[in-house]
Amino acid sequence: MTWKLLHDKVKHQLDFIYADVDLPMPTEELATSLIQTIGLEASDLDKPPTPHSNYWDEEDIIMITYGDSIIEGDERPLVTLNRFLHRYCKNTINKVHILPFFPYSSDDGFSVIDYSSVNESLGNWDDIEAIAKDYGLMTDLVINHCSARSAWFSNFIKGEGPGSDFFFTADPTDDLSMVTRPRISPLLRETETANGTQYVWCTFSHDQVDFDFRNPKVLLAFIEIIKLYIDKGAKLFRLDAVAFLWKIVGTNCINLDQTHEVIRLIRTLIEHVDPSIIIITETNIPNRENLTYFGNANEAHSIYNFSLPPLLVNTLVSGDCKYLKNWMMSMPPAQNGTTYFNFIASHDGIGLRPAEGLLSDDEISDFVHTMQHFGGKISWRASEGGQQKPYEINITLFDALQGTIKGPDKWQVDRFICAHAIMLGMEGIPGIYVHSLLGTSNDYEKVANTGQNRSINRRRWDLSELEPLLDSPYSQHHKVLTRLSQLIRVRKAQPAFHPNATQFTLQLGNQIFGYWRQSLDRKQSIFCVSNISDEEQTVLMSDINLIGTDNWLDLVSRQEISLSSAFLQLKPYQTMWLSNQDFE
């Protein structure tokens, strides 16, 4: 692609984004500035990016962690994290999502004060680059809002300097009744400025002030930030809360066409710098809306599979997989050049909006009550009409799976491993939260100290306390890490677990959840079969339909499967990965 072709494409995207905005500069000039800001020159454009390329494979496993989830003494936490990765994750994890590691004022990093520096309490850019040297680095682009304590917002209050015109304001008399909110706090923040009283838009909290992307200087600032992160080693970008980026008063201000086009523009610029850099959109919204962020393989490379956590956890505590099965059958296969990002636990809670339309209101209510019984907290949102609805469940995944709707039982570890076995085999790239890898329980003390429900799943481990637990064969932490590591190593060796390998949902009743994967070269088949109940289950061999000319092996237990048997017996929460080839 020549400079002119790229310039014309960027200009066309800008013409769409700013069609209803009176710009202070022509889009031709803005396109040139954006291309130069990302660091592209004409000599960089000899070879255009190849469309529909998969820059991932079955070996990709992403660990999600805070920079200080594991600490030791006075050592910089990012240095401690790097040591932990090399000791405990060397043969399992190859990519690391370090949650916002910038100076911040609230929301555990997602209220960024300064996008260009590393939080001194965590370390420095050298520490980030050291991790990026050995692991694919995923970094957050907190693009919807920043901290009210940022220099940009201070300049907004003063009415001069960089950032003085970066923020979205509205009038309290505007019709804001349709605005979709993930919080119940007031939307507008009354702020006294040098230009009089302003009402600043705050989608999340009054410490998180929303940007006004109608101002092209905001877009230019973020392209400059992206360039910095690429220079520091970032290979994956997580666009945080991006669904709320563009606002138009009188609309719901979510998933607007301009938002999608901004993502496509960012994709255009990034893929010309390095086509292997992956954009992941974080859009905690109903499933049908979430899928639109793939675009036509020209928007996000990957989207968070937000419906998976509530559906999978509900499946395992209810002992019934019909909702999970129906959802999986409805999911379109991701075309080449795109893939799902699968996860079942994160630094946030188990989101319930992505379950809307998939679980009934009664099912969601029963699910919420079960999680509360297991020590979970509930965060609420304001729905249309002002009614409060549960937005997410705050609980560690390990404690969420301590039992069923009947109460806690002895199957906690097995149920927990079953959840991950299901997720690890699915189409897409797996993401595993550090506290899932460690089998961490609810942190009630941190909730009491912070007053924030999400703190329940954000424990900060002291490495000197954690290491003896990980090394003791009797601790839940050792059992979880050992069994998860084994599953991950098996998964990474199987071509049929490529994120874009064929997937087909099996019909094995409501207590057995199963699906079939086939490698891209069609040489390997894996039947993934899980007992999601607390009772032993029988699966008829004829229902799985294994090919009689092949030899079959359960990759998990390493046991050969006799085709002369009429059925398989699965213990409670047992998973089998039945394969015609073994690549381990």
Active-site positions? 240
Flag whether 347 is marked binding: yes
- Evaluate whether 38 touches 223 at the Cβ level (below 8 Å): yes
- With a CB cutoff of 8 Å and minimum separation 6, the contacts of 373 are 407
Give the 3-state secondary structure of residue 219.
helix
Is residue 107 annotated as involved in ligand binding?
yes
Answer whether 369's CB lies under 8 Å from 390's CB: no
Helix (H) or strand (E) holding 238: strand 234-240
Distance between CA atoms of residues 58 and 488, nearest Å: 10
Do 214 and 170 form a contact (C-beta atoms < 8 A)?
Answer: no
List, in order, residues 6 or more apart from 386 with CB less than 8 Å away: none
Give the C-alpha separation, 374 to 303, whole Å. 30
The Cα 103–Cα 119 span in angstroms is 4
The DSSP letter of residue 112 is B
558 in a known ligand binding site:
no
Cβ atoms of 289 and 215 within 8 Å: the answer is no
Residues 6+ apart with CB under 8 A from 233: 128, 129, 131, 132, 133, 137
CA dihedral 344, 350, 351, 357 (to 10 degrees): 80
Whether residue 78 is annotated as binding a ligand: the answer is: no
Q: Which of 327, 354, 322, 344 is nearest to 532 (CA)?
A: 322
Do residues 34 and 10 touch, judged by C-beta distance below 8 A?
yes
CB atoms within 10 A of CB 90: 11
Q: How far apart are CA 84 and CA 70, in angstroms?
A: 8
**Chain centroid, CA 110 distance in Å:** 14
Give strand ranges (E) for 241-338. 278-281, 302-304
- Annotated binding residue at 6? no
- The answer for 98, left when phi > 0, alpha when psi is -120 to 50, beta otherwise, is beta
Q: Does the annotation list 240 as a binding residue?
A: yes
Q: Residue 323's closest CA among 331, 308, 311?
A: 311
Q: How many helices (H) and strands (E) does the chain have?
A: 18, 27
Residues 6+ apart with CB under 8 A from 433: 63, 64, 65, 343, 345, 346, 347, 397, 457
CA-wise closest residue to 503 among 308, 332, 320: 332
Pairing state between β 429-433 and 62-65: parallel
Query: How many whole angstroms separate alpha carbon 143 and alpha carbon 551?
Result: 51
Annotated binding site for substrate: 107, 145, 238-240, 347-348, 454
Annotated binding site: 107, 145, 238-240, 347-348, 454
